[in-house]
Amino acid sequence: MEVKKYTSMVITENYYTVEYDDKFFIIDPGYGSYSNLYKKIHDKTISIILTHGHADHIFDLLNFDFENVYLDDDARKTLVNPELNLGNYFKLGKIKIGEEKLKNNEVLDENWKIIKTPGHTEGSCCYLFADKYLFTGDTLFFNSIGRTDLPGGNEKQMKESLDKLRTILQQNSELIVHPGHDRSGSAEEVLMSNPFL
């Protein structure tokens, strides 16, 4: 079982790889992730996990030869709409993926727990892997949170999502929190450093 963190030097977005058994997942394949990872994945069957559908987290998505893309059903319309996913701003173009490859994240295996955390976008989710690593996308950062003033954002939902995450962090201080931007840290460190919690 191996979890690795990478950061796009252009947009400073974090993306991650998770490998175990014969499975290889890429979480939020942002700008530069393909050029950085292609040598490591040439002989692997890969799947993509999305915390949400914003352009900086999907920039290199279509460069990968993936088996499936896992995301919340409510995130689908953001993923494919360049106005909602801010693709127009990043000159990304329209994302087109066959329906057969888009999978509801609830079908991931028992190593994954899905935590629905709308607020930054509709369909934003956090993923708890192996009861040890919490991938929070743009819902929760080390000492801040994601914006709620972008398309699909909702301040009330964000507060409810943060309440949910606070409880999870308080219950397991040794969790490693891996956000979509900024540094990673233990649950204890994030609780101490983040004024929104």
Of 80-89, 99-108, 120-129, 138-147, the range with the lowest mean pLDDT is: 80-89
pLDDT digits (tens, 9 = 90+) for 78-118: 999 888 988 888 788 788 898 899 999 999 999 999 999 99
Q: Note the maximum CA span of the chain.
A: 44
Q: Indicate the pTM of the whole model.
A: 0.95
- Looking up tokens 């969790």, which residue turns up? 175
Ordered domains of the chain (ranges, CATH): 2-193 (3.60.15.10)
Q: Mean of the per-residue pLDDT values for the chain?
A: 94
Buried b (16+ CB within 10 A) or exposed e, 109-144: eebbebbbbbbbbbbbbbbbbeeebbbbbbbbbbbe
Considering only residues 73 and 91, tell me which one the structure prediction assigns the higher pLDDT: 73
Hey, what are 10's tokens? 């252009």
The tens digit of pLDDT for each residue in 9-41 reads 778 999 999 999 999 999 999 999 999 999 888
Percent of the chain with pLDDT over 70: 100
Neighbours of 37 (CB within 10 A): 22
